[in-house]
Amino acid sequence: MSDRKRYVIVGTGGRSRMFTDAIFKDFADQAELVAWCDTSHVRMEYWNNYIAETYDTPRLPTYRVDETLAAFDHMVAEVKPDVVIVTSVDATHHAYIVRAMELGCDAVTEKPMTTDAEKCAAIFDAIERTGKALRVAFNYRWQPTFSTVKQLVASGRIGKPTLVDFQWRLDTRHGADYFRRWHREKKHSGGLLVHKSTHHFDLINWILDDRPQTVYADGGLMFYGEKNAKERGVVHNYDRYSGVPAAKADPFALHMDGSHSGGLSGGSELEGIYKNAEEESGYIRDRNVFGGEDRWPITSEDTVAITARFTKGTVMSYSLVAYCPWEGERLTVTGTEGQVEYFGRGQGHVIAGQSDEQLAKDQYQGEKYIRLQRMFEEPQNIPIPKATGGHGGGDARLLQRIFIPDGEPDELGRDATHVDGAASVLTGVAANRSLETRGVVRFESLWPANAPRP
Protein backbone atom coordinates (compact mmCIF):
# COMPACT_ATOMS: atom_id res chain seq x y z
CA MET A 1 0.00 0.00 0.00
CA SER A 2 1.35 3.42 -0.99
CA ASP A 3 2.36 5.77 1.82
CA ARG A 4 2.03 8.77 -0.47
CA LYS A 5 -0.40 11.43 0.71
CA ARG A 6 -3.52 11.68 -1.45
CA TYR A 7 -4.52 15.08 -2.87
CA VAL A 8 -7.41 16.48 -4.87
CA ILE A 9 -7.53 19.89 -6.56
CA VAL A 10 -10.69 22.00 -6.44
CA GLY A 11 -10.71 24.75 -9.05
CA THR A 12 -8.74 23.97 -12.21
CA GLY A 13 -8.02 27.44 -13.57
CA GLY A 14 -4.51 28.57 -14.38
CA ARG A 15 -3.30 28.78 -10.78
CA SER A 16 -3.89 25.07 -10.20
CA ARG A 17 -1.03 24.20 -12.55
CA MET A 18 1.62 25.04 -9.95
CA PHE A 19 0.31 22.29 -7.67
CA THR A 20 -0.34 19.83 -10.53
CA ASP A 21 3.20 20.07 -11.86
CA ALA A 22 4.66 19.88 -8.36
CA ILE A 23 2.84 16.63 -7.58
CA PHE A 24 3.64 14.89 -10.85
CA LYS A 25 7.16 16.24 -11.36
CA ASP A 26 8.95 17.08 -8.14
CA PHE A 27 7.03 15.30 -5.38
CA ALA A 28 5.75 12.13 -7.02
CA ASP A 29 7.35 10.02 -4.29
CA GLN A 30 5.51 11.88 -1.54
CA ALA A 31 2.23 12.93 -3.14
CA GLU A 32 -0.47 11.50 -5.38
CA LEU A 33 -3.12 13.52 -7.19
CA VAL A 34 -6.29 11.42 -7.27
CA ALA A 35 -9.07 13.66 -8.68
CA TRP A 36 -10.14 17.00 -10.11
CA CYS A 37 -13.14 19.03 -8.99
CA ASP A 38 -14.42 22.06 -10.87
CA THR A 39 -17.52 23.74 -12.26
CA SER A 40 -16.35 22.83 -15.79
CA HIS A 41 -15.75 19.38 -17.31
CA VAL A 42 -13.92 21.07 -20.20
CA ARG A 43 -11.26 22.46 -17.89
CA MET A 44 -10.81 19.18 -16.07
CA GLU A 45 -10.46 17.27 -19.33
CA TYR A 46 -7.84 19.77 -20.49
CA TRP A 47 -5.74 18.91 -17.45
CA ASN A 48 -6.36 15.20 -17.92
CA ASN A 49 -4.97 15.50 -21.45
CA TYR A 50 -2.09 17.57 -20.09
CA ILE A 51 -0.96 15.05 -17.48
CA ALA A 52 -1.39 12.17 -19.95
CA GLU A 53 0.83 13.87 -22.53
CA THR A 54 3.31 15.52 -20.17
CA TYR A 55 3.73 12.86 -17.50
CA ASP A 56 2.45 9.73 -19.27
CA THR A 57 0.03 9.10 -16.45
CA PRO A 58 -3.56 7.82 -16.41
CA ARG A 59 -6.43 10.27 -16.51
CA LEU A 60 -8.02 11.17 -13.20
CA PRO A 61 -11.70 11.05 -12.22
CA THR A 62 -13.50 14.37 -12.59
CA TYR A 63 -16.30 15.80 -10.47
CA ARG A 64 -18.34 18.73 -11.71
CA VAL A 65 -19.52 20.70 -8.72
CA ASP A 66 -22.31 23.24 -8.28
CA GLU A 67 -23.43 25.41 -5.40
CA THR A 68 -24.79 22.39 -3.51
CA LEU A 69 -21.29 20.84 -3.22
CA ALA A 70 -22.90 17.40 -3.65
CA ALA A 71 -20.30 16.39 -6.24
CA PHE A 72 -17.55 17.47 -3.86
CA ASP A 73 -18.96 15.23 -1.13
CA HIS A 74 -19.22 12.38 -3.65
CA MET A 75 -15.60 12.87 -4.70
CA VAL A 76 -14.28 12.76 -1.13
CA ALA A 77 -16.29 9.60 -0.42
CA GLU A 78 -14.98 7.88 -3.56
CA VAL A 79 -11.31 8.84 -3.77
CA LYS A 80 -10.66 9.42 -0.05
CA PRO A 81 -8.13 12.29 -0.18
CA ASP A 82 -5.95 13.26 2.74
CA VAL A 83 -5.70 16.90 1.63
CA VAL A 84 -7.88 19.18 -0.49
CA ILE A 85 -6.01 21.87 -2.45
CA VAL A 86 -8.31 24.85 -3.07
CA THR A 87 -7.57 27.06 -6.10
CA SER A 88 -11.12 28.09 -6.97
CA VAL A 89 -12.57 31.62 -7.22
CA ASP A 90 -11.58 33.49 -4.03
CA ALA A 91 -15.09 33.98 -2.68
CA THR A 92 -15.67 30.20 -2.72
CA HIS A 93 -12.51 29.17 -0.85
CA HIS A 94 -14.23 29.03 2.52
CA ALA A 95 -16.96 26.66 1.29
CA TYR A 96 -14.48 24.01 0.14
CA ILE A 97 -12.16 24.48 3.13
CA VAL A 98 -14.99 24.07 5.63
CA ARG A 99 -16.59 21.11 3.85
CA ALA A 100 -13.22 19.36 3.38
CA MET A 101 -12.58 19.56 7.11
CA GLU A 102 -16.07 18.33 7.97
CA LEU A 103 -15.37 15.31 5.76
CA GLY A 104 -12.06 14.59 7.51
CA CYS A 105 -9.50 16.26 5.22
CA ASP A 106 -6.83 18.86 5.81
CA ALA A 107 -6.69 21.74 3.34
CA VAL A 108 -4.22 23.92 1.45
CA THR A 109 -5.61 27.11 -0.03
CA GLU A 110 -4.34 29.68 -2.46
CA LYS A 111 -4.24 33.19 -1.15
CA PRO A 112 -6.41 34.98 -0.19
CA MET A 113 -7.75 32.52 2.36
CA THR A 114 -11.21 33.98 1.73
CA THR A 115 -12.77 37.40 1.11
CA ASP A 116 -14.61 38.70 4.19
CA ALA A 117 -14.89 38.51 7.97
CA GLU A 118 -17.90 36.16 8.02
CA LYS A 119 -16.12 33.61 5.86
CA CYS A 120 -13.02 33.87 8.05
CA ALA A 121 -15.22 33.10 11.06
CA ALA A 122 -16.65 30.03 9.30
CA ILE A 123 -13.14 28.69 8.70
CA PHE A 124 -12.10 29.27 12.32
CA ASP A 125 -15.24 27.46 13.46
CA ALA A 126 -14.55 24.47 11.20
CA ILE A 127 -10.97 24.15 12.47
CA GLU A 128 -12.14 24.29 16.07
CA ARG A 129 -14.90 21.69 15.46
CA THR A 130 -12.86 19.23 13.39
CA GLY A 131 -9.28 19.63 14.55
CA LYS A 132 -8.13 19.66 10.91
CA ALA A 133 -5.33 21.87 9.58
CA LEU A 134 -5.24 24.63 6.98
CA ARG A 135 -2.17 26.02 5.24
CA VAL A 136 -2.37 29.28 3.30
CA ALA A 137 -0.03 29.35 0.29
CA PHE A 138 1.81 32.63 0.88
CA ASN A 139 4.71 32.11 -1.51
CA TYR A 140 6.22 35.57 -1.03
CA ARG A 141 7.25 34.63 2.51
CA TRP A 142 9.55 32.05 0.94
CA GLN A 143 11.10 34.40 -1.62
CA PRO A 144 14.78 34.89 -0.69
CA THR A 145 14.56 38.68 -0.95
CA PHE A 146 11.77 39.03 1.58
CA SER A 147 13.25 36.32 3.79
CA THR A 148 16.44 38.39 3.92
CA VAL A 149 14.51 41.54 4.89
CA LYS A 150 12.73 39.56 7.61
CA GLN A 151 16.07 38.30 8.96
CA LEU A 152 17.53 41.81 9.08
CA VAL A 153 14.52 43.25 10.91
CA ALA A 154 14.26 40.31 13.32
CA SER A 155 17.98 40.53 14.12
CA GLY A 156 17.53 44.00 15.59
CA ARG A 157 19.97 45.60 13.16
CA ILE A 158 17.64 48.56 12.59
CA GLY A 159 16.34 48.71 16.17
CA LYS A 160 12.61 48.92 16.80
CA PRO A 161 10.67 49.30 13.50
CA THR A 162 8.82 52.62 13.42
CA LEU A 163 7.83 53.13 9.77
CA VAL A 164 7.15 50.82 6.81
CA ASP A 165 6.86 52.25 3.30
CA PHE A 166 5.69 49.63 0.78
CA GLN A 167 5.08 50.49 -2.88
CA TRP A 168 3.85 47.87 -5.34
CA ARG A 169 3.68 48.60 -9.08
CA LEU A 170 1.85 46.35 -11.54
CA ASP A 171 2.59 47.05 -15.19
CA THR A 172 0.15 47.20 -18.11
CA ARG A 173 0.69 43.49 -18.80
CA HIS A 174 0.18 42.12 -15.31
CA GLY A 175 -2.08 44.81 -13.84
CA ALA A 176 -4.47 44.91 -16.78
CA ASP A 177 -5.14 41.21 -16.53
CA TYR A 178 -6.90 41.59 -13.19
CA PHE A 179 -9.44 43.77 -15.01
CA ARG A 180 -10.12 41.18 -17.73
CA ARG A 181 -10.95 38.46 -15.23
CA TRP A 182 -13.45 37.84 -12.46
CA HIS A 183 -11.04 39.65 -10.14
CA ARG A 184 -12.49 42.98 -11.32
CA GLU A 185 -15.66 42.25 -9.30
CA LYS A 186 -15.33 42.52 -5.52
CA LYS A 187 -18.10 39.99 -4.97
CA HIS A 188 -15.74 37.35 -6.40
CA SER A 189 -12.31 38.59 -5.28
CA GLY A 190 -12.70 41.23 -2.61
CA GLY A 191 -11.02 43.55 -5.12
CA LEU A 192 -7.28 44.00 -5.47
CA LEU A 193 -7.07 45.09 -1.81
CA VAL A 194 -7.98 41.53 -0.85
CA HIS A 195 -6.94 39.39 -3.81
CA LYS A 196 -3.57 40.99 -4.58
CA SER A 197 -2.69 43.05 -1.52
CA THR A 198 -3.20 40.08 0.81
CA HIS A 199 0.29 39.04 -0.37
CA HIS A 200 1.72 42.36 0.74
CA PHE A 201 -0.21 42.76 3.98
CA ASP A 202 0.88 39.28 5.01
CA LEU A 203 4.50 40.17 4.32
CA ILE A 204 4.32 43.22 6.58
CA ASN A 205 2.44 41.35 9.33
CA TRP A 206 5.10 38.62 9.16
CA ILE A 207 8.15 40.90 8.96
CA LEU A 208 6.94 42.98 11.91
CA ASP A 209 5.46 40.01 13.81
CA ASP A 210 2.47 42.24 14.39
CA ARG A 211 -1.03 43.10 13.16
CA PRO A 212 -2.72 46.39 12.26
CA GLN A 213 -4.64 48.35 14.85
CA THR A 214 -6.19 50.97 12.56
CA VAL A 215 -6.48 51.24 8.77
CA TYR A 216 -7.30 54.20 6.54
CA ALA A 217 -7.49 53.98 2.74
CA ASP A 218 -8.07 56.23 -0.24
CA GLY A 219 -8.13 55.59 -3.97
CA GLY A 220 -10.43 54.48 -6.74
CA LEU A 221 -10.80 53.25 -10.32
CA MET A 222 -8.67 55.85 -12.08
CA PHE A 223 -7.44 54.20 -15.29
CA TYR A 224 -9.48 51.16 -16.36
CA GLY A 225 -13.22 51.18 -17.03
CA GLU A 226 -15.46 52.87 -19.58
CA LYS A 227 -15.65 56.26 -17.88
CA ASN A 228 -11.88 56.68 -17.63
CA ALA A 229 -11.38 55.49 -21.21
CA LYS A 230 -13.95 57.95 -22.58
CA GLU A 231 -12.28 60.81 -20.72
CA ARG A 232 -9.09 59.93 -22.59
CA GLY A 233 -10.98 59.75 -25.90
CA VAL A 234 -11.06 55.95 -26.08
CA VAL A 235 -14.48 54.50 -26.90
CA HIS A 236 -15.02 50.75 -26.97
CA ASN A 237 -18.45 49.45 -27.91
CA TYR A 238 -17.87 45.85 -26.95
CA ASP A 239 -17.48 43.99 -23.69
CA ARG A 240 -14.84 41.43 -24.63
CA TYR A 241 -11.59 42.48 -26.21
CA SER A 242 -10.71 39.93 -28.85
CA GLY A 243 -11.81 39.18 -32.39
CA VAL A 244 -12.34 42.85 -33.23
CA PRO A 245 -10.11 44.99 -35.51
CA ALA A 246 -9.30 47.51 -32.77
CA ALA A 247 -7.77 44.78 -30.62
CA LYS A 248 -5.32 43.48 -33.19
CA ALA A 249 -2.27 45.47 -32.05
CA ASP A 250 -3.53 46.77 -28.73
CA PRO A 251 -1.40 45.64 -25.76
CA PHE A 252 -4.51 45.71 -23.57
CA ALA A 253 -6.14 43.00 -25.68
CA LEU A 254 -6.04 39.30 -24.89
CA HIS A 255 -6.24 36.74 -27.71
CA MET A 256 -6.67 33.30 -26.24
CA ASP A 257 -5.75 31.46 -29.44
CA GLY A 258 -2.12 32.20 -28.61
CA SER A 259 -1.49 34.61 -31.50
CA HIS A 260 -1.03 37.42 -29.02
CA SER A 261 -2.00 36.86 -25.42
CA GLY A 262 -1.61 40.34 -23.99
CA GLY A 263 1.90 39.60 -22.76
CA LEU A 264 0.72 36.48 -20.95
CA SER A 265 2.32 33.09 -21.37
CA GLY A 266 0.39 29.95 -22.27
CA GLY A 267 -1.83 30.98 -25.19
CA SER A 268 -2.96 27.41 -25.85
CA GLU A 269 -3.60 26.91 -22.13
CA LEU A 270 -5.80 30.01 -22.03
CA GLU A 271 -7.76 28.66 -24.97
CA GLY A 272 -8.01 25.17 -23.47
CA ILE A 273 -9.22 26.04 -20.00
CA TYR A 274 -11.13 29.25 -20.65
CA LYS A 275 -12.20 29.88 -24.24
CA ASN A 276 -13.23 26.28 -24.90
CA ALA A 277 -15.11 26.18 -21.59
CA GLU A 278 -17.16 29.32 -22.17
CA GLU A 279 -20.36 27.62 -23.30
CA GLU A 280 -20.35 25.32 -20.29
CA SER A 281 -19.12 27.74 -17.62
CA GLY A 282 -20.41 31.09 -18.84
CA TYR A 283 -17.09 32.65 -17.85
CA ILE A 284 -15.46 35.11 -20.27
CA ARG A 285 -11.71 35.35 -19.70
CA ASP A 286 -10.95 38.17 -22.15
CA ARG A 287 -13.20 40.94 -20.88
CA ASN A 288 -12.47 44.43 -22.12
CA VAL A 289 -10.63 46.42 -19.46
CA PHE A 290 -12.20 49.60 -20.90
CA GLY A 291 -15.74 48.36 -21.41
CA GLY A 292 -18.33 45.71 -20.77
CA GLU A 293 -19.45 47.21 -17.50
CA ASP A 294 -23.13 46.60 -18.18
CA ARG A 295 -22.52 42.85 -17.94
CA TRP A 296 -19.39 42.71 -15.78
CA PRO A 297 -19.01 45.92 -13.79
CA ILE A 298 -15.59 46.86 -12.46
CA THR A 299 -15.95 47.28 -8.72
CA SER A 300 -12.27 46.97 -7.79
CA GLU A 301 -9.97 49.96 -7.49
CA ASP A 302 -6.84 50.16 -9.64
CA THR A 303 -5.15 52.87 -7.52
CA VAL A 304 -4.96 52.78 -3.73
CA ALA A 305 -3.00 54.29 -0.86
CA ILE A 306 -3.24 53.08 2.73
CA THR A 307 -2.03 54.28 6.11
CA ALA A 308 -2.09 51.81 9.00
CA ARG A 309 -0.87 51.80 12.58
CA PHE A 310 0.22 48.49 14.10
CA THR A 311 -0.34 47.33 17.66
CA LYS A 312 3.34 47.79 18.59
CA GLY A 313 3.32 51.34 17.24
CA THR A 314 4.78 50.93 13.73
CA VAL A 315 3.16 53.08 11.05
CA MET A 316 2.74 51.72 7.50
CA SER A 317 2.32 53.59 4.24
CA TYR A 318 1.25 51.26 1.39
CA SER A 319 0.32 51.95 -2.22
CA LEU A 320 -0.70 49.83 -5.20
CA VAL A 321 -1.18 50.86 -8.81
CA ALA A 322 -2.24 48.47 -11.60
CA TYR A 323 -1.19 50.36 -14.76
CA CYS A 324 2.44 51.39 -14.25
CA PRO A 325 4.78 51.45 -17.30
CA TRP A 326 7.12 49.14 -15.39
CA GLU A 327 6.72 46.41 -12.79
CA GLY A 328 8.38 46.27 -9.42
CA GLU A 329 8.27 47.03 -5.72
CA ARG A 330 10.03 48.98 -3.02
CA LEU A 331 9.92 48.05 0.66
CA THR A 332 11.62 50.26 3.25
CA VAL A 333 11.59 49.55 6.98
CA THR A 334 12.94 52.36 9.16
CA GLY A 335 13.73 51.77 12.81
CA THR A 336 15.24 53.49 15.82
CA GLU A 337 18.76 52.42 14.79
CA GLY A 338 18.70 52.35 11.02
CA GLN A 339 16.90 51.33 7.84
CA VAL A 340 16.65 48.39 5.45
CA GLU A 341 15.45 48.91 1.90
CA TYR A 342 14.56 46.40 -0.81
CA PHE A 343 13.98 47.53 -4.38
CA GLY A 344 13.19 45.35 -7.36
CA ARG A 345 12.41 46.51 -10.86
CA GLY A 346 11.00 43.36 -12.20
CA GLN A 347 9.18 41.79 -15.03
CA GLY A 348 9.85 44.00 -18.02
CA HIS A 349 7.84 46.48 -20.04
CA VAL A 350 5.16 46.34 -22.71
CA ILE A 351 5.29 48.08 -26.08
CA ALA A 352 2.20 48.32 -28.30
CA GLY A 353 2.16 45.71 -31.07
CA GLN A 354 4.66 43.34 -29.44
CA SER A 355 4.16 39.65 -29.97
CA ASP A 356 4.52 37.34 -27.01
CA GLU A 357 7.89 36.25 -28.40
CA GLN A 358 9.10 39.85 -28.64
CA LEU A 359 7.88 40.61 -25.16
CA ALA A 360 9.71 37.62 -23.71
CA LYS A 361 12.89 38.71 -25.52
CA ASP A 362 12.61 42.30 -24.30
CA GLN A 363 11.93 41.49 -20.68
CA TYR A 364 14.67 42.40 -18.25
CA GLN A 365 15.35 41.97 -14.57
CA GLY A 366 16.49 45.54 -14.12
CA GLU A 367 17.72 46.77 -10.79
CA LYS A 368 17.42 44.75 -7.61
CA TYR A 369 19.09 45.32 -4.27
CA ILE A 370 18.77 45.11 -0.51
CA ARG A 371 20.51 47.91 1.34
CA LEU A 372 21.08 48.16 5.08
CA GLN A 373 22.17 51.41 6.67
CA ARG A 374 22.57 51.81 10.39
CA MET A 375 22.68 55.28 11.88
CA PHE A 376 26.03 57.02 11.52
CA GLU A 377 27.42 54.14 9.42
CA GLU A 378 28.05 53.57 5.72
CA PRO A 379 25.30 51.74 3.78
CA GLN A 380 25.82 48.03 3.14
CA ASN A 381 24.58 46.17 0.09
CA ILE A 382 23.24 42.85 1.36
CA PRO A 383 23.68 39.85 -0.96
CA ILE A 384 20.42 38.43 -2.29
CA PRO A 385 20.43 34.62 -2.52
CA LYS A 386 19.98 33.40 -6.07
CA ALA A 387 16.62 31.86 -6.87
CA THR A 388 14.74 30.55 -9.88
CA GLY A 389 11.11 29.84 -10.55
CA GLY A 390 7.83 31.60 -9.93
CA HIS A 391 7.47 34.53 -7.53
CA GLY A 392 11.21 35.04 -7.25
CA GLY A 393 11.86 31.48 -6.15
CA GLY A 394 9.12 31.55 -3.54
CA ASP A 395 6.93 28.97 -5.27
CA ALA A 396 9.54 26.21 -5.21
CA ARG A 397 10.39 26.73 -1.55
CA LEU A 398 6.74 26.86 -0.54
CA LEU A 399 5.92 23.67 -2.44
CA GLN A 400 8.87 21.89 -0.86
CA ARG A 401 7.55 22.78 2.57
CA ILE A 402 3.99 21.70 1.70
CA PHE A 403 4.80 18.32 0.19
CA ILE A 404 7.84 17.35 2.27
CA PRO A 405 7.27 18.85 5.71
CA ASP A 406 10.23 17.89 7.87
CA GLY A 407 8.48 18.55 11.15
CA GLU A 408 11.08 21.11 12.17
CA PRO A 409 9.90 24.66 12.87
CA ASP A 410 11.09 27.19 10.33
CA GLU A 411 13.34 29.74 12.03
CA LEU A 412 11.65 32.57 10.13
CA GLY A 413 8.12 31.36 10.76
CA ARG A 414 7.19 31.19 7.08
CA ASP A 415 4.52 28.49 7.47
CA ALA A 416 1.27 30.46 7.24
CA THR A 417 -1.77 29.33 9.22
CA HIS A 418 -5.44 30.31 9.13
CA VAL A 419 -4.65 33.04 11.67
CA ASP A 420 -2.13 34.57 9.26
CA GLY A 421 -4.57 34.15 6.39
CA ALA A 422 -7.31 35.98 8.25
CA ALA A 423 -4.98 38.78 9.40
CA SER A 424 -3.99 39.60 5.82
CA VAL A 425 -7.52 39.26 4.40
CA LEU A 426 -9.03 41.47 7.09
CA THR A 427 -6.43 44.18 6.50
CA GLY A 428 -7.78 44.37 2.95
CA VAL A 429 -11.37 44.20 4.19
CA ALA A 430 -10.63 47.08 6.58
CA ALA A 431 -9.18 49.08 3.69
CA ASN A 432 -12.28 48.40 1.58
CA ARG A 433 -14.50 49.50 4.43
CA SER A 434 -12.44 52.65 4.85
CA LEU A 435 -12.93 53.46 1.17
CA GLU A 436 -16.67 53.09 1.64
CA THR A 437 -16.96 55.09 4.88
CA ARG A 438 -14.14 57.59 4.24
CA GLY A 439 -13.01 56.94 7.80
CA VAL A 440 -10.52 55.04 9.94
CA VAL A 441 -11.40 51.38 10.57
CA ARG A 442 -10.32 49.51 13.67
CA PHE A 443 -8.90 46.12 12.70
CA GLU A 444 -10.15 44.52 15.91
CA SER A 445 -13.77 45.27 14.92
CA LEU A 446 -13.42 42.79 12.05
CA TRP A 447 -11.62 40.00 13.88
CA PRO A 448 -13.91 36.96 14.37
CA ALA A 449 -15.11 36.47 17.94
CA ASN A 450 -14.33 32.75 17.72
CA ALA A 451 -10.73 33.27 16.59
CA PRO A 452 -7.43 33.35 18.53
CA ARG A 453 -6.13 36.87 19.02
CA PRO A 454 -3.80 37.74 16.14
Average pLDDT over residues 61-70: 96
How many helices and strands in the chain, by DSSP H and E? 16, 15
Quick one: which of 410, 393, 396 has its CA closest to 27? Answer: 396
The pTM score is: 0.94
Report yes or no: 302 and 175 within 8 Å, Cβ to Cβ: yes
Average pLDDT over residues 209-213: 97
Average pLDDT over residues 193-218: 98
Q: What is the pLDDT at residue 363?
A: 45
Average pLDDT over residues 198-217: 98
What's the DSSP call for residue 26?
I
pLDDT in tens, 382-411: 999 888 888 888 899 999 999 998 778 899
SS3 of residue 350 by DSSP: coil
Quick one: which of 290, 239, 269 has its CA closest to 356? Answer: 269
Helix (H) or strand (E) holding 168: strand 161-171
Average pLDDT over residues 79-94: 98
Q: What is the pLDDT at residue 256?
A: 82
pLDDT in tens, 131-190: 999 999 999 999 999 999 999 999 999 999 999 999 999 999 899 999 999 999 999 999
Question: Residue 106 pLDDT > 60, yes or no?
Answer: yes
Q: What is the pLDDT at residue 170?
A: 95
Average pLDDT over residues 10-14: 96
Mean pLDDT of the chain, nearest integer: 91
Residue 350 — very low, low, confident or very high, per pLDDT cuts 50/70/90? low
pLDDT in tens, 234-277: 877 678 877 777 777 788 888 887 655 555 555 689 999 999 99
